[in-house]
Amino acid sequence: MNRFSIKDIENLTGIKAHTLRIWEQRHGIIKPKRTNTNIRYYDAIDLKNALRVSLLNRYGYKISRIRKMDEQQIDEAINEHTDKSFQLEHQVNMLLSATIDMDTDKFNELINQYTKQYGLEQMIEELIFNFLEKVGIMWMTNRILPAQEHLSSHIIEKKLLLATEQVDVPQVNAKQVLLFLPEGEIHELALLYVNYLLHKRGIRTIYLGPNSPIDQVEFVVNTLNPKYLYTHLTSVSKDFNTIDYINTLGNVFKTQEIHISGIMLDDQIQPQHNNIQLLNSLQAVKKFVASI
């Protein structure tokens, strides 16, 4: 854990592996370490250095110039940049570094600063969703421990729960939305955010939450009769069949409108039931929320 291959560094920084090798050989920066069996790897410090170097390089700094800079000079160069895209990527990288270090105070401070400057929704949609994309790469390749990811996720969850609690909008819409995640799915940040957006519009929600077997969802539906069902598919399990799950929802819940989002969807999936709508982007999700 927290040992990274050159492919990991490429995926997380956007710098091609052959370029990283050139930087190592010609400029002596971002040098890998070796195991006792001579396998090359990068550690957490190398990753954080690679994120900083690649960011400056992508925004116009030549690698020959960066190699002559010490850490303080690199920090000054990063802080001097006023371009919003640059600073967003830098903030994402700092969140990633805080996650690897399990520095929850730093993570919380970064979240609060961004929220104060741009508001909760921009913080989630710009900062957190970009951060989660990088964490997802590390999660899928077993480069991050669940404990590291959970500590950071818990901070974001608390922010969303508090914001939802503080939304002072009368719930006047009688059309209820049931929000749930499939059995085995525990990543609920997207679900919490949609719950917040619905509350902000004054729409009634029933929050069943993560790890919800279909029979439990059916029990709630039969009891409370919500008009809409919403679920999000992030990374359930290796045996999870997305198409089968979508079709099962359509077979069980014939009178509800079912809306599904998440990275496990792709453009090739065609639901067999007319009451199912796949939401393949954040814009599609927000359009669904606005349509109720």
Q: Is residue 123 part of a domain?
A: yes
Is the same domain home to 178 and 95? no
Is the same domain home to 11 and 156? yes
Query: What's the domain count of the chain?
Result: 2
Q: Is residue 1 part of a domain?
A: no
Q: Is residue 268 part of a domain?
A: yes
Q: Name residue 200's amino acid.
A: K
Is the same domain home to 122 and 197? no
Is the same domain home to 247 and 266? yes
Report DSSP state, residue 92. H
CATH number of the domain where residue 140 is located = 1.10.1660.10
Is the same domain home to 156 and 195? no
Structural contact between residues 229 and 256, judged by C-beta atoms closer than 8 angstroms? yes
Q: Is residue 188 part of a domain?
A: yes
Structural contact between residues 33 and 4, judged by C-beta atoms closer than 8 angstroms? no
Q: Which domain holds residue 129?
A: 6-162
Q: State residue 286's pLDDT score.
A: 97
Q: In what order do the strands lie in the sheet with 276-279?
A: 203-212, 173-182, 228-232, 257-261, 276-279
Is the same domain home to 156 and 269? no
- Beta strands 228-232; 257-261: pairing state: parallel
Q: State residue 173's pLDDT score.
A: 67
Half-sphere exposure (Cβ direction) of 66: Cα atoms closer than 13 Å: 26
Is the same domain home to 152 and 25? yes
Is the same domain home to 286 and 215? yes
Domain closes at, from 139, 162, 185: 162
Q: State residue 268's pLDDT score.
A: 80
In order of 75, 99, 125, 216, 283, the CA distances from 55 in angstroms are 11, 19, 21, 47, 28
CA distance 216 to 238: 22
Per residue of the chain (292 residues), give pLDDT as tens.
678 999 999 999 999 999 999 999 999 999 999 988 989 999 999 999 999 999 999 999 999 999 999 989 999 999 998 899 999 999 999 999 999 999 999 999 999 999 999 999 999 999 999 999 888 878 767 778 888 889 999 999 999 999 999 987 766 667 899 999 999 998 899 999 999 999 999 999 999 999 999 999 999 999 999 999 999 998 877 789 999 999 999 999 999 999 999 988 887 888 889 999 999 999 999 999 999 8
DSSP string of 138-166, one letter each residue: HHHTT-S-HHHHHHHHHHHHHHHHHHHHH
Q: Is residue 15 part of a domain?
A: yes
- Beta strands 40-41; 33-34: pairing state: antiparallel
CA distance 259 to 230: 5
CATH number of the domain where residue 276 is located = 3.40.50.280
Is the same domain home to 181 and 196? yes
Is the same domain home to 179 and 211? yes
Q: Is residue 243 part of a domain?
A: yes
Q: Is residue 29 part of a domain?
A: yes
Q: Look up tokens 């065609």; give the residue.
A: 270
Domain closes at, from 121, 147, 162: 162
Is the same domain home to 118 and 185? no
Is the same domain home to 21 and 151? yes
- On whether the pTM is more than 0.75, the answer is yes
Give bridge partners of residue 34 from the DSSP assignment.
40
Domain closes at, from 120, 145, 162: 162
